[in-house]
Structure 1
Amino acid sequence: MLIREATTEDWPAVWPFFHTIVSAGETFTFPLDLGFDEGRGWWLLPEPNRTVVAVDEETGAVLGSAKMNRNHQGNGSHIASASYMVDPAHSGRGVGRALAEYTIDWARRAGYRAMQFNAVVASNEHAVKLYESLGFTVIGTLPEGFRHPTEGYVGLHIMHRAL
């Protein structure tokens, strides 16, 4: 698997799984009805932020994507954040872990002191376990902060790790 900078030419390959994940409404706080162009603006971030894709080196297929950015501005600009999406057809193969490790390394190299995830849906147990295995801890939970389409109101975790 190769992780490289995403380009606008990658968006047509990212869009199908981005759209599936966002419209399902189970893991992101994005508007459920984001269209192709709007979604691209939400996911493909301009510098100094970054968006990358994980690509199968043999087939060239886009397996997943991550966006990384400054979590706060001004005197809080030393804290990074990131978001991840893996094509459901490629889940369970280490793509999410590889993307998360990549973003942690990026943040460290860029001089950030910590990473913070602002809204990890508590019922997204796979993501919570992955992040905890990478050194993140839940530092707080907004009770009923997320309206899950099948589980009702569930918590939104704030997760943090020092770099």
Structure 2
Amino acid sequence: MDSIRPATDHDWPAIWACLAPVFAAGLTYAYPPEITEAEARTIWMHKPAATFVGCDNQGRVVATYYLIANQPGQGAHVANCGYIVAESARGQGWASAMCEHSQSEAIARGFRAMQYNFVAETNTGAVRLWQRHGFDVVGRLPGAFCHPEAGDVDALVMYKRLTKPLAGR
């Protein structure tokens, strides 16, 4: 593992190479498996507050995440992230490193908490990892994720406070 840095437009082909097989498999993200590259680029590169890439020691993009406000207005202090590691780089600590990096970035950008809205309960590795990083399961949406192999499985809502809450006004 070498570095995590802000993504550039030049990184898009490598980011798409990470995203496409994960989205097509339909095992962990709710995006349609047939999502187009243009749609994915808007979701991953243009809507977020920031997008980052993880680069190996040869400078190749092997992981990526985005950081965005979970909700507008009165919920804009809560961040949301999506993380993907290329299959060739899994098991090397990238997801954990991006989780830590995203929390630091979120705090630096004024976010006070982070929420993952729709974690498929079958994504047990991610659930364990987020819990190790201090996230709690605060909600369960019964049968909300349509898993292509397991059928309808629960989607978890996971949450972590990053800073002290503001006092009431």
User: Is the TM-score greater than 0.5?
Assistant: yes
Distance in 2 separating the partners of 1:98 and 1:45: 23
Q: Deviations over 1:43-81 (max 9, x none)?
A: 11356x000000013x11111000001001111111111
How far residue 26 of structure 1 moved from its aligned partner, in angstroms, is 0.3
Match for residue 136 of structure 1?
135
Q: Deviations over 1:97-119 (max 9, x none)?
A: 11111101111122211101100
Which segments of 5 or more consecutive residues in structure 2 lack a partner in the other structure?
A: 163-169
Is residue 41 of structure 2 the alignment partner of residue 40 of structure 1?
Answer: yes
* Alignment map for 1:101-140 (pairs within 5 Å): 101-140=100-139
Two-structure CA RMSD over aligned residues (Å) = 1.0
Superposition TM-score, scaled by structure 2 size: 0.92
Q: How many residues align?
A: 161
Percent of aligned pairs with the same residue?
A: 35
Match for residue 159 of structure 1?
158
Name the SS of the counterpart of 2:23 in structure 1: helix
Counterpart amino acid of residue 103 in structure 1:
S
Which segments of 5 or more consecutive residues in structure 1 lack a partner in the other structure?
A: none
* Alignment map for 1:71-90 (pairs within 5 Å): 71-90=70-89
Match for residue 95 of structure 2?
96
Distance in 2 separating the partners of 1:84 and 1:55: 14
Distance in 1 separating the partners of 2:158 and 2:46: 22
Name the SS of the counterpart of 1:34 in structure 2: coil
How far residue 37 of structure 1 moved from its aligned partner, in angstroms, is 1.7
Match for residue 55 of structure 2?
55
Distance in 2 separating the partners of 1:42 and 1:159: 21
CA contact (8 A) 2:18 2:62 kept: no
CA contact (8 A) 1:3 1:99 kept: yes
Name the SS of the counterpart of 1:30 in structure 2: coil
